Amino acid sequence: MASLYRYKRPAICSFVALCIIAVFAIMSSSGRLEKVSVIRPAKSHSSGTVKEEFSLADLFQTRDIDNDLDNSDGEYDEDDAPKAINKHLNPQSRIVYNRVGKCGSRTVLEILRNLVKRNGFDLYSSQINNVTHLSLIGQVELVNIISSLQPPFIYQRHFHFIDFPKFGAIEPVYINIIRDPVDRFISQYYFKRFGDGISNRRFYKGPPENLNMTINECVLSNDPECRSSKLFYIIPFFCGHDERCRTASRWSLEKAISNLEEKFLVVGFIEDLEASLQVLEILLPQMFEGAAEIYKLPAASKTARTSTKHKVAATEEVRNILKSRLPYEYEFYDFAKKKFEVIKGQLKIVSPKR
């Protein structure tokens, strides 16, 4: 039988180095390791799913590193490959959704929770929601925790793109959902102040007198909260952890586009969510089969629960001002939109009329 996988010594060195760094991270970061929750199909037919919590340390203590390194400096046949390695190398069974904030991800997660039992996969969710740009140790920790999960799974968290092969790890399949940059910013602006139908928690940290300031007042008064540096948000989720990714520039835009082309299987749109789910169903049926059907079910509370509260519509003038402050974000958005339309055409998917 023809050989299926080839492992070279440089890759092993990278993996060993990754393990050493991860052990150091565990020893030096007591009390701050990432906590993860998982929703998985229940073994008993009496209930649909179960929820568990664990940390990186729990996974690392049970990881069989010797098994990962076995047979790693030559070629071997598929029949000789450890089953765990075969499963981890199945690209459609290891999905990472590094979700962009205020781009409909709560709606998508509700759909995924319904699909866990139906399609038989695990949905892992980080309990860290407010750290998107990670330190080097933080990246290693996240790569290790995702690499230690048993497929099939979807792992979701707000974080900027991480290049797994850079750390000697097997690359997962990345997916994401984005939206019009101005709409996203307006939603975030009010969400920080008033929450949504699920959470009343406020994340606003500005001057108390600005709490009830509308988006129109913020933009027209040129308040710092609505200036360009505060608007740049979507591109880093695709650009990555290079420090240059944190600044709006031609370089960060081109890096984000390059990663979108090479590292992401699907980037859908909240404005075209039904079609986005249909694309995911075709390309990742193991996880997403039935997603569009669930989305179309009559559930008026679904949108109400995830919609931002007390949102005052921006005037056309304010929208134009915001858009003028987001040239790179819109160039990325337009590029991603064209790519998505090409995929829809290839799969013969027609977006529903609004």
Examine the residue annotation and report whether 160 is marked as an active-site residue of this protein: no
Tell me phi and psi for residue 61, to 5 degrees.
-65, -25
Spatial separation of the C-alpha atoms in residues 99 and 161, rounded to whole Å: 10
Secondary structure string (H, E, C) spanning 23-50: HHHHHHCCCCCCEEEEEEECCCCCCCEE
CA 177 from chain centre, in angstroms, equals 8
Q: Rounded distance, CA 302 to CA 13, Å? A: 48
Closest of 120, 131, 119 to residue 157, by C-alpha: 131
Q: Which residue is catalytic, options 45, 158, 241, 310?
A: 158
Q: Which of 41, 39, 64 is nearest to 54 (CA)?
A: 39
**CA–CA separation, 114 and 10 (whole Å):** 42
Ramachandran region, residue 290 (left: φ > 0; alpha: ψ -120 to 50; beta: rest): left
Residues with a known catalytic role = 158
